[in-house]
A and B are shown apart, each in its own frame.
Chain A
Amino acid sequence: MNTTARRAHSAPDATTADPAGGREADDAIVELREALVYDLDEGFARLVGAHQAVAYSVALRTTGHRADAEDLLAESLLRAYRALRGYDATRLRELQPRPWLLTIVVNTRRNQVRDAARRPRADGAEPPDRPSTERSVEDRAQDAETSDELAAQLARLTDVQRTAVVLRHVVDLPIDEVAEVLGCPPGTAKSHVSRGLSRLRALMTPPDGVHTAATSRSNP
């Protein structure tokens, strides 16, 4: 297999992620923090530049829809900005930008889904601003835009499993950052990832049983 190609795909913010795929490079983090302390708006611009690609990937693969991903990204970033405004220099100097930002993306998405579920449905009339949150992730994953089968199957995982798999294997976060974003211990995060992968493997197994390894696992 070609791990180099995978790295290139899975570390879209390669300039701030260290080559071993671990924590962001310390220098880049320190510079970003100092920029935020010195001039919040300029520092925020750098934060967006450094992390928009990874945040977009997470938004796209958790919503399953490009327009939703763009809206989610913009809303999350504005929330991030408003949160940063309330942080003092000490707090800013402790910031772990990537997991912190991805936590906001994941929580913002959770709130959107919850709000959409609560909102009463008027006979087929969709609110103009956020029409797609009215529909399930599964429905939208089957849109023509998401033709990729795996992307569609991701939508069939539970929210926490999907998020765990996306963070760990789509954007290549180390497990401790996955745990930080999910707000759980690393062991729990690991098990969400494992279960998500098992489910995906079962879902991806065609009925004709070509993938014998996976078939034998789910039907011993």
Chain B
Amino acid sequence: MNDMTDHPTDDLTDDAVSTDLLDELANLASPPPAELTEGLFDRLFDRWLTTESPLGPVLVAYTGRGVSFVRTSALVPGEQFLETHRRRFGRPLRRADSTPAGLVDALWGRPGSVPEVDLEGLSAFEHDVLAATRTIPLGQTRPYAWVAREAGSPRAVRAAGSVLARNPVPLLVPCHRVVRSDGSPGQYLFGPETKQQLLSSEYARAHDL
């Protein structure tokens, strides 16, 4: 009966029942199931990697649900990308040891299976704008008004443009294919010239096929 020394701060450890009770309580400390331990890090930590794209080197972050953030190294270099991501998503990051299936092809606009994108945390309108934009095929463009209409808010043309200006996953959601109604390219996250180059090269590829 060494519970007196074991738990000197408890007053009720001096009979057989409480000793058994304390032992039973201690036995309730169950280690987490192995799959939890393995899954916990994936659940907590987003992954990041760098890869090549038509925009030059890009940094890409993804969660267990899909790709969540894409930025060019030129615009948001290394450590700044990580910090921007943490501020925007409030989640820790670790370097990825593999590349999500289909990511590279999707960045280059090649046909094939596209990776999931994780748009968690966006509003319904933001989500709908990005979903509509994602359906615009390679080599084609749509006006901002079309996107607003597809997103169910035909009058929210300017708001749709603002959503695209903050697109977390450019290239994967091809916001560069959304242009002004007069056909001019309009603004782009990475600059209007880049947008025009991207559209020209996509148009050429789509029509050579």
Contacts and interface: CB of A to CB of B under 8 A. Distances in A.
Nearest to B86: A85
Interface in A133-171: 148, 150-151, 154, 165-166, 168-171
B12 to A, nearest CB: 5
B39 to A, nearest CB: 8
Contacts of A197: 10, 12, 18, 21
Contacts of A70: 36
B90 A41 contact: no
B9 A3 contact: no
A175 B9 contact: yes
A197 B15 CA distance: 13
Given A1-B23, A3-B2, A201-B18, A150 B28 contact: yes
B28 A56 contact: no
Interface stretch (B91-99, B150-158, B188-196, B199-207): B91-99
Contact of A60 (B10, B11, B22, B30): B30
Contact of B26 (A60, A170, A193): A170
A98 interface: no
B97 to A, nearest CB: 14
B75 interface: no
Contact size class for B? Answer: 35 or more
Contact size class for A? Answer: 35 or more
Contact of B21 (A53, A151, A166, A200): A200
B44 A172 contact: no
Contact of B10 (A10, A82, A85, A190): A190
Contacts of A169: 7, 22, 25-26
Nearest to B11: A194
Contacts of A53: 31-32
B16 interface: yes
Contacts of A204: 21
B182 interface: no
Contacts of A45: 41, 45, 92, 94
B9 A12 contact: no
Contact of B90 (A57, A81, A165, A213): A81
B15 A40 contact: no
A167 B206 CA distance: 64
Contacts, number: 117
A151 B30 CA distance: 11
B37 interface: yes
Interface in A191-207: 193-194, 197-198, 200-201, 204
Interface in B43-60: 43-45
A82 B31 CA distance: 25
Nearest to A204: B21
Contacts of B6: 3
Contacts of A74: 40, 43-44
A95 interface: no
Nearest to A215: B17
A2 B12 CA distance: 18
Given A12-B29, A78-B91, A200-B21, A48 B41 contact: yes
A73 interface: yes
Contacts of B30: 56-57, 60
A74 B42 CA distance: 10
Given A3-B2, A201-B12, 9 more contacts: A1-B3, A9-B27, A45-B94, A77-B40, A169-B25, A170-B29, A190-B10, A200-B21, A214-B17
6 contacts: A41-B86, A57-B31, A73-B40, A193-B10, A201-B21, A211-B17
